[in-house]
Amino acid sequence: MTHDSPQPARRDRLNPVVFHGSVAGILVFLVLTMTFTEQAGAFFDAGLAWVNDTFGWYYMLAAVAYLVFVIVIGTSRIGRIRLGPDHSRPEFSLVSWASMLFAAGIGIDLLFFCVAEPLSHYLAPPDLSPESAAAMRAAVPQTFLHWGLSGWGMYVLMGMALAYFSYRHRLPLAIRSALFPLLGKRIHGPIGHAVDITAVVSTVFGIATSLGIGVMQLNYGLTFMFGVPESLSTQVVLIILVVVLATISVVSGVEKGIRRLSEFNMLLALALLLFVLFQGQTLHLLDALVLNAGDYLSGFVGKSFDTYAFAGEDAQQWKGWWTIFFWGWWIAWTPFVGLFLARISRGRTIREFVVGALLIPLGFMMAWMSIFGNSGIELVANEGLTALGEQALNTPQTTIYTFLEQYPYIGITASVVTILGIVFFVTSADSGALVLANFTSILSDVNHDAPIRLRIFWSVVIGLVTVALLMAGGLGALQSAVVITALPFSLVIFAIMAGMARALKLENTKAEARLHVSGSAPGGDWRERLDRALDTSNRAGAAATIEHAIRPALAQFAQELESRGQTATLSESQEEEDEPLPSLTLQVELGEAASFVYQVHPHRLRTPSFLPADDDYYVRLDVYLAEGGVDKDLNGYTRGQVIGDVLSEYERHLHFLALAGDASSQVQAMPGAVGELPEEATQA
């Protein structure tokens, strides 16, 4: 048995391999694209055609597989597991959470496509007669397919995996962590670096595509309102201004910047939606919304597998420019939105997360696309506004303004759309910069964000890539680039599915073991137990419990195991700068099977208002096992009670290994669950 001396606090730092590898790849792209713009545009077009012809079927199957996986996980018993320790609770209210996931997950593209896409499907459908009654009915449900459950299933899968492995097992908040059940400690080597670099590059192109689409619409909005020239130079100036605003927002963090902007934009978007609803044919629009929702849900399976194999060359090209583009775009955004969803969803159960992140955006998206889309179709089909239809097919960034011209108060509504666009633009850019900074950092605590200077750097990079794509061919280059870069990352998502399935299966087995092996209650006099329930220990009280009960109890238990021929290690480390109390970790090696891990980790929390206390903060001494945190605070425990609790957990672990059978030899304790950082982090 060894007893390590306390280690110094670990600090956040750059992950050099992932950072420099990602920057090198992006830099090569920027130089080539800005130097050979015509050739780059031709390359992107050829690449999109090749991906559509070769992998169109694959994208269709992948979108369905991702969605089915998250629904099965969310509706099973596993859905009760929390994305964090058992005692954790959500940081943000439901309204704030919904606003942030919506603003980050869709953003300005909702303004770009809400009128243009339904009109395009009405005027130029893939397999129906243009401008027919059938095309009119199918236009909005087809739009729902591109913006609904399939895309959000990808976001939910990535967010669930990142939150689970990072907040429950305290692994790094990176894509590689989700592959630990498959690769073990190899995630800290070349394979893990390659996965994270792929995620960073995919994320940069996904965000740049969205921002490129957004800046085209912002440019036209300023042209419409103030006569500002519609040109590449204007768009570059707009990108610079938005990057500056995004940098200011991302520096202020999620709580002050991104959350407040998201809530503001959600309210503004809702006001615009209600304006269009009540200024138009309200009852007809509500009837159409219900019909569209029914058509989408009833035809979802068939449409999800519709590759237009027998519909001709035009339909195949349509599929590439619409459905395959959207699936590639969603996949490219998956690392970004997934990590952001994980960042704002700590403490929710998997079931809450799956249901909320699938259905809340779906409901708003259906209302938005149906009301705007059907209103636009009505203007073209029944009121003869053919110019709006031509814009939808040729210059989609102009449609929202031409559409609103048909309603009163165009000065106000055009201003609202422009403000919405700017704020959506900023929230996408700032949350993207935050996520990219976290991806390329080694964080000492997954609850912390990367240094501010790194967030600023990624804000600038996003702006540069957006400019490069606009130079290479505007909307066409944006669409082609995102589909091409998403292809390799789609394979990573399948690996994440496999890792998540294995980890959750083992956790479920561990839960069954806990039910079969009863643990001992703390015991003692009932008055002592009442004191413990009401205790909000300050740092001095928690330090005394560590010194006089926890440390000697763990040492005694380890010594007893050593005397019986087992390998037991007790170590200490200080992991958080603002919490000087040490974390103590007992680890018992069990050959090829999973090690037994029992860690006591201090957490500084605000004192509940309903309990008397002398301080605004108190310290919990939380218990973490190999599979993550459990809802247990050791403050006030005696030495004997700590030993009893450790013994109960050890018995449960042995029973779990017996239930796991042959699979137990493949189970490795997740290093983040015992407070370790990757090997590269310890070599700073």
With a cut of 80, say whether residue 272 has pLDDT above it.
yes
Residues in the chain, how many? Answer: 684
How is 198-261 classified by DSSP, letter by letter?
Answer: HHHHHHHHHHHHHHHHHHHHHHHHHHHHH----SHHHHHHHHHHHHHHHHHHHHHHIIIIIHHH
Amino acid 536: pLDDT: 53
Sign of CA dihedral 297, 299, 302, 304: negative
Task: Give the mean pLDDT of 448-468.
Answer: 86
How far apart CA 481 and CA 426 sit, in angstroms, is: 22
Which position has the higher pLDDT, 579 or 244? 244
pLDDT band at 40 (very low <50, low <70, confident <90, very high): confident
Label residue 419 by pLDDT band (50, 70, 90): confident
Predicted confidence (pLDDT) at residue 257 exceeds the cutoff of 80: no
Residue 673 reports pLDDT greater than 50:
no
- Rounded percentage of the chain residues whose pLDDT exceeds 90: 39
Of 241-250, 340-349, 387-396, 638-647, which one has max mean pLDDT?
387-396
User: How many whole angstroms separate alpha carbon 423 and alpha carbon 420?
Assistant: 5
> Both tokens of residue 346?
């700590």
Given this model, what pLDDT does residue 606 score? 67
349-395 pLDDT tens trace: 999 999 999 998 899 899 999 999 999 999 999 999 999 999 999 99
pLDDT of res. 11 = 63
Residue with tokens 């996904």: 206
> In this predicted model, which residue has the larger pLDDT, 601 or 675?
601
The residue extents of the domains of the chain are 13-105+133-209+227-261+285-372+427-509, 518-683
pLDDT value at position 368? 95
pLDDT classification of 573: cutoffs 50, 70, 90: confident
The yes-or-no verdict on residue 210 having pLDDT over 70 is yes
Position with higher pLDDT, 423 vs 305:
305
Q: Which residue has the higher pLDDT, 36 or 426?
A: 36
pLDDT of residue 513: 66
- How far does Cα 669 stand from its chain's mean position? 25
pLDDT band at 681 (very low <50, low <70, confident <90, very high): very low
Name the most confidently modeled range: 26-35, 149-158, 585-594. Answer: 149-158
The tens digit of pLDDT for each residue in 542-564 reads 888 888 889 999 999 999 999 98
Cβ-Cβ contacts under 8 Å for 508 (sequence gap 6 or more): 77, 78
Q: In the predicted model, is pLDDT for residue 35 greater than 80? A: yes
How far apart CA 198 and CA 6 sit, in angstroms, is 37
Burial 573-582, CB ≥16 within 10 A → b, else e: bbbbeebebb
Confidence check: pLDDT of 2 > 50: no
Q: Please report the pLDDT score of residue 427 as a whole number.
A: 72
Residue 679: what pLDDT? 40
Q: Which of 5-14, 182-191, 436-445, 486-495 is predicted most confidently?
A: 486-495
CB hemisphere CA count around 340 (13 angstroms): 36
Q: What is the pLDDT of residue 683?
A: 35
Q: Which amino acid is at 193?
A: H
Q: Which residue has the higher pLDDT, 460 or 615?
A: 460
pLDDT reported for residue 445: 65
Over residues 87-99, the mean pLDDT reads 81
Is a pLDDT exceeding 70 seen at residue 535?
A: no
- Kindly give, in sequence order, each residue whose CB lies less than 8 Å from that of residue 381, ignoring residues fewer than 6 positions away: 122, 131, 136
Question: What average pLDDT does the segment 295-320 reach?
Answer: 93
Task: Give alpha helix (H) positions in 345-409.
Answer: 350-381, 386-394, 399-404
What does residue 126 show for φ and ψ, rounded to 5 degrees? -75, -30
Question: Phi-psi category of 184—alpha, beta or left, where left has phi over 0 and alpha has psi -120 to 50?
Answer: left
Confidence of residue 447 (pLDDT cuts 50, 70, 90): low
d(CA 190, CA 200): 15
* Greatest mean pLDDT range, 90-99, 218-227, 297-306: 297-306
pLDDT digits (tens, 9 = 90+) for 158-182: 999 999 998 888 788 788 989 988 8
* Greater model confidence, 290 or 622: 290
Burial group, residue 505, by CB count within 10 angstroms (0-12, 13-18, 19+): middle
Q: Name which residue leads in pLDDT, 649 or 616.
A: 649
Dist CA 676 CA 403 (whole Å): 56
- For the chain, give the mean pLDDT: 83
Q: What is the pLDDT of residue 103?
A: 61
Phi and psi angles of residue 669, each rounded to the nearest 5 degrees, phi first: -60, 130
- Say if residues 388 and 399 touch (Cβ distance below 8 Å): yes
Q: For Cα atoms 328, 302, 381, give the angle at the middle one, nearest 5 degrees.
A: 80
Quote the pLDDT of residue 684: 30
In 3D space, the residue among 601, 600, 588, 558 whose CA is nearest the CA of residue 654 turns out to be 588
Poorest-pLDDT segment among 63-77, 553-567, 614-628, 668-682? 668-682
Q: Residue 614 has what pLDDT?
A: 54
